[in-house]
Amino acid sequence: SKARQATSRKKLIEKLTIDDIKPSSRRFPYVAFKPERDPGKNILEVKGLTKSVDGEKVLQNFDLMVNNGDKIAFVGPAHLTKTLFFEIICGKVRPDKGSFTWGVTTKQSYFPKDNHEFFTEHIGITDWLRQYSVEKDETFVRSFLGRMLFSGDDALKDCTVLSGGEKVRCMLSKIMLEAGNVLVLDEPTSHLDLEAISALNDGLIDFTGVLLFNSHDHQFVDTIANRIIEFAPNGNVIDRMMKLEEYLANEEVRALRDSYYSGHSGVEI
């Protein structure tokens, strides 16, 4: 009977000593983004940003004002639009029209969706990270790799043999080291295991700077973002100061989305 099973299980548990309990093999990285300074009042102003790819308008006359305290999640099915917008404001791609201006006290750190070009050299990851550090001391540099679970010989791994998840962990080490006060993260949860996603989630909740990001992880977006911007079809944009769950439940947003998507459509993140 169930009662007998419960009793025998209870007896087994009572017999266990601390030594019998195997420690969990789950290892959590430590993610903490600590800006060198406050980003100030003026963060980012975007005016009339327009960009076409292969004759198709991907960004159309897009305006945006980013304020201190904003943690903006970009959502919607137009994944290329999100990536191109991030590439433009981080100086990697030129817009066809329009302008963007960063505040003078902002310092941006960018996490690109495709990080392949960062890992083409045959060097160890400690030397790789040292390239991005003003402080060249090995212990200092390795401390940032250690946070992302690269210790001992792992911190000497050749860049060209890293897995997708290891590359992402290296990029997060780099961003922590840079100490920027504005983070621009294009799908930072890709290739990460649950422990790393959880650590990154906590790190971004605690981050005191400004954040612009996208992710396919619903819970990740809902727990971090305080502002949602959706790139809808035909250059339409919905911009609301609210959490993702509020955004999904908001009647006015639903009506707007129904008009933009020609009928009801679920929010794609």
Q: Please tell me the predicted confidence (pLDDT) of residue 131.
A: 96
Q: Is the pTM of this model over 0.85?
A: yes
Question: What 3-state DSSP class applies to 187?
Answer: coil
Instruction: Count CB-CB contacts under 10 A for residue 75.
Output: 25
Closest to 76 measured CA to CA, from 230, 263, 186:
230
Q: Please tell me the predicted confidence (pLDDT) of residue 266.
A: 84
Q: Please tell me the predicted confidence (pLDDT) of residue 20.
A: 56
How far is residue 188's CA from residue 70's CA, in Å, rounded to a whole number?
A: 18
Q: Please tell me the predicted confidence (pLDDT) of residue 140.
A: 97
Q: Please tell me the predicted confidence (pLDDT) of residue 213.
A: 99
For the chain, the C-alpha Rg in angstroms (whole number) is 22
Q: Dump strand ranges (E) for the chain.
A: 42-53, 56-67, 71-75, 97-102, 108-111, 182-186, 210-214, 227-231, 237-240
Do the Cβ atoms of 164 and 116 come closer than 8 Å?
no
Residue 135, phi-psi category: left (phi > 0), alpha (psi -120 to 50), beta (remainder): beta
H or E element: which one contains 108?
A: strand 108-111
Q: Please tell me the predicted confidence (pLDDT) of residue 27.
A: 83
How far is residue 99's CA from residue 63's CA, in Å, rounded to a whole number?
A: 9
Q: Please tell me the predicted confidence (pLDDT) of residue 262.
A: 84
Low-confidence spans in the chain with pLDDT less than 50 = 18
Place of tokens 């009977």: 1
H or E element: which one contains 77?
A: none
Number of H helices, E strands in the chain: 9, 9
Instruction: Count CB-CB contacts under 10 A for residue 113.
Output: 15
Could you give all domains of the chain from N- to C-terminal order, each with its CATH number?
2-107+179-260 (3.40.50.300)
Q: How far is CA 264 from CA 89, 170, 248, 257, 258, in A?
A: 32, 40, 12, 7, 5
- Residue by residue, DSSP assigns 199-220 as HHHHHHHH--SEEEEE-S-HHH
Interhelix angle for 164-178 vs 194-206, to 10°? 20
